[in-house]
Amino acid sequence: MATVRTPPTAGIVASVVTVLVVFVPFVVLSSAEISGVQTYYAHGVVGPWPIAMLGLLSIVAFAAGRQGRTDPVTAAGATLVFGVATAAIALYWAVAVPADLVQQLGTATWLAYHRWLLAVAAIGVMGSALWYVRALDLV
C-alpha cells in the first residue's frame, strides 16, 4: 500500500512547489519591481497563472486519490492530464519569454532562472502523475 501512496505524495509536493514558484517573485521583489514581473508574466499566449491553477487542481486530485476519497484510477487519470497540461504550458511559456526581457528588468539575477525552475517543477508534477499511473499498473 505504501508504494501506491508514495507517487501521489510526491505529486502533492511537486504541485505545491510549482504553485510556490509562480508566486515567489511577488513575495520576494519590491513593489517597484512588481510591474516588471507583470510584464515578464504577460509574455507568450499563456502565462504562469494557468500553471498555478492547474497546480492547485493537481494538489486536490493527488490528495483525493491518496486518501481514497476518489477512485485511484480516476485520480491518476486526472493528475496525468493536469500534469501534461502544466508541463506543456510551463515549457511553452519558458521558451516564449525572451532572455533580454529578463535582463531589462534589472531585478535579481535569480529571475533569469525562474522560468526554467518553473518548467522543472511542472515536469515534476507530470512525472509524479506518470509514476502514479505506473504504480496502479494502468500502463
Q: Please give the tally of structural domains in the chain.
A: 1
pLDDT digits (tens, 9 = 90+) for 85-94: 999 999 999 9
Question: Please, which contacts does 26-34 make with residues 24 or more away whose CB atoms are closer than 8 Å?
Answer: 28/108, 29/107, 29/108, 33/105, 33/107
First to last CA, the chain: 18
The size of the chain, in residues, is: 139
pLDDT digits (tens, 9 = 90+) for 35-61: 777 777 887 788 889 999 999 999 999
Provide the residue range defining the domain that includes 63.
Answer: 2-135
Name the band, by pLDDT with cuts 50, 70 and 90, for residue 114.
confident
CA–CA separation, 125 vs 135, rounded Å? Answer: 15
Positive or negative CA dihedral for 35, 36, 42, 48? negative
Which amino acid, 2?
A: A
- Please tell me whether the overall predicted TM-score, pTM, comes out greater than 0.75 for this model: yes
